[in-house]
Amino acid sequence: MKPQELFKVEGYGVIVTGGASGLGLGYAEALAENGAQVTILDVDSSRVDQETQRLGNLGYAVRGEVVDVRDHAAIDRAFDAALAAHGRLDVVFANAGIDPGPGFVGSWVGAERPRNPAGALESYTDERWNRVIDINLNGIFATLRAGARLMRPQRSGRMIVTTSVAAYQCEPAIGAAYMTAKAGAAHLMRSVALELAAYQITVNAIAPGFFATNIGGGHAKQPQVQEAMSKAIPMHRVGFPDDMKGLALFLASPASSYITGQQISIDGGWTLGVAD
């Protein structure tokens, strides 16, 4: 099969949660740029309007809806609307997530990372813990469930979950709730992959390392933070949403048709250790 056929997603119906910024927007762009019909779901109404208009002006088939993934009934309605609009549902990116707040160590900048009392276990409120779990894990569950409801009868589909290298490696600067949610999402992905494999529905995960997105209140976009992190990453640079596009297209396309239940790290070698 020729490469253009292996990676062909033209006409596909695609849903991306958290698709109005960051990695989710990168996924949406990657599929739209290759001819897919994309629905962006996001809680930020202004960003949804801005990005759907921008991408539409470029000639791409993109629509958007304002959806909070904590509202599971709203997710179901949005999936039904996307299916009606596109006429098919081929790919779901379960991506929406939030900033977890501080971990028990402080700034990413510099060699020293002092303890941060605000991120200590005993400082965690129930409200903070539950909000992170509700969006970053329960929202993934509701998204995968909605995708399975529509994909199982057609016996085809691709679902891709955004996890994190923090799903399997402790990162004390980002908070316990985030690591717990991402680890749970990774194992949920595997469980759903096993259940749906007989229906030719693949379910995989993308596990990003350090990317310059709005996570952490935009902390990762600060030049001094990127400079410090680049010293710890073997490729000596941080990631950007465009770095995700190739993997997103691969997992959404026929090229990955025999891959399921896998979590693929994309981190510039960060989890390998410090090389230089």
Q: pLDDT tens track of the chain, all 276 residues?
A: 787 889 999 999 999 999 999 999 999 999 999 999 999 999 999 999 999 999 999 999 999 999 999 999 999 999 999 999 999 999 999 999 998 888 898 765 556 678 989 889 999 999 999 999 999 999 999 999 999 999 999 999 999 999 999 999 988 888 899 999 999 999 999 999 999 999 999 999 999 998 888 765 566 677 777 787 888 889 999 999 999 999 999 999 999 999 999 999 999 998 998 878
**pLDDT confidence of residue 26:** 97
Give one DSSP letter per residue of 13-75, joined into a string: EEEEETTTSHHHHHHHHHHHTTT-EEEEEES-HHHHHHHHHHHHHTT--EEEEE--TT-HHHH
Residue 3 falls inside a structural domain: no
Q: How far is it, in rounded angstroms, from Cα 11 to Cα 61?
A: 9
Residue 1 falls inside a structural domain: no
**pLDDT confidence of residue 212:** 82
State pTM to two decimals: 0.94
Residue 101 falls inside a structural domain: yes
Residue 276 falls inside a structural domain: no
Residue 75 falls inside a structural domain: yes
Domains identified in the chain, total number: 1
Residue 174 falls inside a structural domain: yes
Q: What is the CATH number of the domain that holds 77?
A: 3.40.50.720
What b-and-e string marks burial along 249-271, b requiring 16 or more CB atoms within 10 Å of the CB? Answer: bbbbbebbeeebbbbbbbbbebe
Place of tokens 């900033």: 99
* Known catalytic membership, residue 168: no
Residue 275 falls inside a structural domain: no
For the chain, how many helices (H) and strands (E)? 9, 7
Domain residues for the domain of 110 are 9-265
Residue 272 falls inside a structural domain: no
- Per annotation, catalytic residue among 12, 27, 60, 178: 178
Residues 6+ apart with CB under 8 A from 145: 72
